[in-house]
Amino acid sequence: DAQVVDPLRGEPGVRVEPVRPEGLGALRAAVATVAEAAGLAAERVDDLRIAVTELASNALTHGAGPAIARCWAAAGDLVCEVSGPGELADPLAGRIPPPVTGVRGRGLLLVHRLCDLVDVHVADGVTTVRLHLELPAPRPVPAPRSAPDAVQGGFVRPAPI
């Protein structure tokens, strides 16, 4: 039973943050809080911080207006997205390395390397980039231990006389 979350409906567990130049630190902290609560390993939380910061910076630099970031856990993944007005012109951005002599174009490449899956969706003048990081499988809860007895191969103390 994989839970499907629609972040646009404001379902519980979806963290929404505005993307602002002065708020990048708060954005990093917010996504880290969601990631840690979902059980993402510390190293992967750092990867997520870098990836979300890169997407937010791209939205601020290349976007055509205010953007928002959303983050939630569902179906075994931690998902974060940055969405805002503007259209990504190159559908392969981040999938093909830029020329070595180029000074730009490595941010989305880095995002693709840090995340398990990156989806880019452009529609009606809005670009949404969604990151997926696989969450660790929940650990099974061990069964409670019972006192050893003869049936379980343990020992039974003789009763006092």
Question: Could you please report the per-residue DSSP string of 10-74?
Answer: T-TT-EEEEE-GGGHHHHHHHHHHHHHHHT--HHHHHHHHHHHHHHHHHHHHH-SS-EEEEEEEE
What's the CA gap between 78 and 85, in Å, rounded? 24
Q: What pLDDT, on a 0 to 100 scale, did the predictor assign at position 3?
A: 47
What's the fold here for domain 13-134? Answer: Heat Shock Protein 90 (3.30.565)
Q: pLDDT tens for the chain, 161 residues: list them.
A: 344 455 555 555 677 888 989 999 999 999 999 999 999 999 999 999 999 999 999 999 999 888 999 999 888 899 999 999 998 878 778 888 877 777 777 889 999 999 999 999 999 999 999 999 999 987 777 777 765 554 555 555 566 66
Domain boundaries, the chain: 13-134
Q: What pLDDT, on a 0 to 100 scale, did the predictor assign at position 2?
A: 42
Q: Which strand (E) or helix (H) includes residue 128?
A: strand 126-134
Residue 7 is classified by DSSP as G
Q: What pLDDT, on a 0 to 100 scale, did the predictor assign at position 44?
A: 97
Residue of 58, 70, 65 lying closest to 130 (CA atoms): 70
β-pair partners for 18:
68
